[in-house]
Amino acid sequence: MTLRPDGRKPHETREITAEAGVIKQADGSAKFKIGNTEAVAAVYGPQELHPRHLQNPKKGILRCSYNMLPFSGDGSRVRPGFSRRSEEISHVTTKALEPVVDLTEYPNSVVDVFIELTQTDAGSRCAGICAASMALADAGITMKDMVPAISVGKLNDTLVIDLDGEEEHLDENETPDIPVAMIPRSEEITLLQLDGIVTQQELLDGMSLVKESLHEIADLQRKALKKQYEGVVQE
Amino acid sequence: MNNNLKDHLKKSLKQDVRVDGRKKHEHRDITIEKGAISTAEGSARLTAGDAEILAGVKAEVREPWPDTPDAGSLMVNVELLALSSPDFESGRPGIESIEPSRVIDRGFRESGALNLKNLCIKKGEAVYGLSIDIVPLNYDGNIYGLGGLAALAALQDTELPGLTENNTIDYDAEGPAFSLKRKPIPITVYKVGDLLLVDPTDEEENIADARLTITTLDDNKVCSLQKGGSAPLTDEDFEQMLNIAFNTREKLMEALDE
């Protein structure tokens, strides 16, 4: 039997499709699909922040909100509205993207990033971050780099990239899963979480393994953003 | 929206010209992709011009309501996502999403499209409860018509999951057959001044004075009505609106059955 149920190699991600400019009403938008997990992100702003006591007179603030659509879970319906899980993911997503955006030119403003998951099969926060960073670039927000994100996990003592839902449940105690987001140029980490038990050495090995995939994803994100302008003719 | 644009839209409408080149009674071309969402029991992605809407059906097992011990249930929910338009905010649903939820729901209920008794698992103990969630990804008007059609397509695509011995959902098992008896399609005709139009874009909705949602069935039958907006309707308006709705239904049926 192969290690991974869908026959992937340990370092292989699921199939990825990335597309920018998918929501006309938004100032910037993107779709990021990896396997059966699909995130759509839309950016609105910079615009004035209300209530005013939240405003920062020195720079604009970034506000990401992660949400699973009611039919996007593999189990029963996800009730719309507040959940502690989506609050936390919204927060770590904002923190994953904050280091690359420059909002000093927009005091007292907010840049809202709405991330909706249309369907999920594990890896949804990473897909959300990938879509959100593309949407920010699409909106013309000043950024020093793209932010790719993907998880590294451990299946039968082997480190593997991009766990899917089936793999997450292979281990009785939940397969260890480490979502990581990175600034490719400097290889600095902006999101790092872990559920499950791994050794110190596995963590270090996992980090070097995941970096390769993150660079590949960043290339895909950039390619998708450029694709929008391929039809532009210059005299 | 600024007044110049409003005036321009109204003036052009008098010449039977709309911003996207359509005539007053012309619907946008529609594409429907059934089964677009892998995690839903039934789903559809609908696009019409720039509008894009997802509808997804989820099933659960629940206790029946005491007054209908042998009938399952259906719930329709429209979520106007902040992602889909600068005019929407996240938070508690307002009347803008509650009204279309209820109007689309009534269309299914009153038409008898679903036999809710087929959703009974064990009388008085367990029934299937279906939820249809309708969400615009890019909002561009006409949530009643486009949302209602997307919901109908998602229901057509629906396969009920099976059950375990303890009557909980078992996604790996096959459920009982599920089908629709009728095809209720809500069609909203809008009134701008004394002109009538169908399938407005977001901009056109902002200049409308009144609207009437007519949920149409085959054989020129109607199963639900809902008037909205402040301006009154005349008898003549009403008669014309019915005609427009049934003409529109033909085009929508083609998109649905493709």
Burial of A167 (0-12, 13-18, 19+ CB in 10 A): buried
CB contact under 8 A, A23 and B39: no
Interface predicted TM-score (ipTM) of this complex, two decimals: 0.85
Q: Which residue did the predictor score with more confidence, A170 or B181? A: B181
Pair B72, B119: CB distance under 8 Å:
yes
Residues written for chain A: 235
Distance between start and end Cα atoms, chain B: 37
B79 and A70: CB-CB below 8 Å? Answer: yes
Shortest CA distance from A165: residue in chain B: B39
For residue A78, the chain B residue with the least C-alpha distance is B58
Q: What is the mean pLDDT of chain A?
A: 94
Pairing of strands A149-155, A158-161: antiparallel
Residue A103: count other Cβ atoms within 10 Å of its Cβ. 20
Q: B139–A42: do the CB atoms touch at under 8 Å?
A: no
Q: Are the Cβ atoms of B83 and A41 closer than 8 angstroms?
A: yes
From the CA of A29, how many Å to the nearest CA of chain B? 9
Per-residue pLDDT at A26 exceeds 70: yes
pLDDT in tens, chain B (258 residues): 788 989 999 999 999 999 899 999 999 999 999 999 999 999 999 999 999 999 999 999 999 999 999 999 999 999 999 999 999 988 888 899 999 999 999 999 999 999 999 999 999 999 999 999 999 999 999 999 999 999 999 999 999 999 999 999 999 999 999 999 999 999 999 999 999 999 999 999 999 999 999 999 988 999 999 999 989 999 999 999 999 999 999 999 999 987
State the Cα–Cα distance between residues B19 and A121, nearest whole angstrom.
41
Q: What would the mean pLDDT of A19-39 be, rounded to a whole number?
A: 97
- B171/A25 Cβ within 8 A: no
Residue B37 to residue A71, Cβ atoms within 8 A: yes
Per-residue pLDDT, B117: 93
The structural domains of chain B, ordered by start, are 11-257 (3.30.230.70)
pLDDT over threshold 80, residue A172: no
User: Which chain A residue lies closest to B168 (C-alpha atoms)?
Assistant: A76
Contact B104, B147 (CB under 8 A): yes
pLDDT at A123 over 90: yes
Q: pLDDT value at position B92?
A: 82
Mean pLDDT, residues A129-153 taken together: 97
* Secondary structure class of B24 (helix, strand, coil): coil
Peptide bond preceding A107: is omega within 30 degrees of 0, i.e. cis? no
Among B41, B33, B36, B133, smallest CA distance to B81 is for: B133
Checking if the pLDDT of A234 tops 70, the result is no
When pLDDT is cut at 50, 70 and 90, the band that residue A235 belongs to is low
**Cα(A106)–Cα(A60) distance, integer angstroms:** 5
Give the per-residue pLDDT at A1: 55
What whole-number distance in Å separates Cα of residue A190 and Cα of residue A206? 16
Of A25, A74, A116, the CB nearest to B86: A25
Residue A171 pLDDT > 80: no
- CATH dotted code for A16-223: 3.30.230.70
Residues in chain B within 8 Å Cβ distance of A73? 39
How far is A82 from chain B, CA to nearest CA, in Å?
9
- Is pLDDT of A80 > 70? yes
Given B43, B82, B138, which is nearest A71 (Cβ)? Answer: B43
